């Protein structure tokens, strides 16, 4: 392996030795590129939430913690979603409707400060067309309007509702949990009738 020839060490599963990790800044400097410390500091502030009790928290850790709260709230309050799985450190949490043609996704976007509930339809434009033909009835049952995104250049389609909100802001996060769970639960109640 080329990397081993460069004296990089790997464990039995093929993971690199963390003691040999080189950050992007160090790599850029080693390659002879200029590194602007102000730009790096600004980027780090942008992608990392504020530290809590002196400990730096990664966005991925914050996402997992937020969706653990979503799951806990869903287990207690949702009446149409039966399964709330363990969350992963990612910006979405998926909920099954029991129909493999689509799933409900609860998402957060720390860059755009936006939270979204959507129904993701993968590889089934006919299902999207069927739902779109019933748009007025679906939106009346939901009690809110949706963005209907056919994604004409892609295989997937989606039905979306979003609202502003920064899940990293402790003053907003519980309100966002209490918006995502009922909205997702309403999707589950209504969309299951039209699938």
What are 62-110's pLDDT values in tens digits?
999 999 999 999 999 999 998 999 999 999 999 988 888 999 999 999 9
What are 141-162's pLDDT values in tens digits?
999 999 999 988 888 899 999 9
The gap from C-alpha 183 to its chain's centroid, in whole angstroms, comes to 16
DSSP 80-120: S----PPP-SSSEEEEE-S-TTEEEEEEEETTTTEEEEEEE
pLDDT for 32 equals 57
What are 107-122's pLDDT values in tens digits?
999 989 999 999 999 8
Residue 180: both structure tokens together: 């995502």
- Residue 177 clears pLDDT 80, i.e. is over it: yes
pLDDT for 27 equals 59
Say how far apart CA 9 and CA 34 lie, in whole Å: 28
Give the residue from 184, 191, 30 showing the smallest Cα distance to 116: 184
Average pLDDT, the chain: 84
Residue 158: both structure tokens together: 């989606």
Residue 195: both structure tokens together: 């699938």
At which residue do the structure tokens 């939901």 appear? 142
Say how far apart CA 76 and CA 96 lie, in whole Å: 17
Residue 72: both structure tokens together: 């806990």
pLDDT for 14 equals 63
Per-residue pLDDT band for 134 (boundaries 50, 70, 90) equals very high
8 Å CB contact between 139 and 128: no
Which 3 state secondary structure label does DSSP give 93?
A: strand
pLDDT for 140 equals 97
The pTM (predicted TM-score) of the whole model is 0.71
Q: What is the largest CA-CA distance in the chain?
A: 64
8 Å CB contact between 117 and 103: no
pLDDT for 12 equals 59
């Amino acid at each position: 392996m080329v990397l081993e020839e460069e004296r990089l060490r790997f464990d039995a599963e093929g993971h690199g030795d963390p003691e040999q990790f080189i950050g992007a800044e160090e790599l850029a400097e080693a390659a002879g590129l200029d590194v602007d410390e102000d730009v790096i500091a600004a980027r780090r502030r942008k992608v990392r939430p504020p530290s809590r009790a002196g400990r730096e928290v990664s966005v991925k850790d914050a996402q997992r913690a937020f969706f653990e709260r979503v799951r806990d709230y869903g287990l207690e309050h949702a009446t149409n979603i039966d399964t709330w799985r363990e969350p992963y450190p990612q910006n979405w949490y998926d909920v099954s409707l029991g129909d493999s043609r689509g799933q409900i996704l609860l998402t957060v976007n720390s860059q755009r400060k936006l939270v979204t509930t959507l129904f993701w339809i993968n590889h089934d434009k006919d299902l999207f067309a069927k739902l779109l033909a019933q748009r007025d009835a679906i939106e009346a049952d939901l009690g809110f309007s949706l963005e209907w995104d056919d994604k004409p250049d892609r295989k997937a389609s989606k039905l979306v509702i979003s609202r502003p909100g920064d899940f990293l802001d402790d003053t907003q996060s519980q309100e966002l949990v209490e918006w995502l769970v009922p909205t997702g639960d309403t999707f589950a109640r209504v969309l299951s009738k039209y699938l």
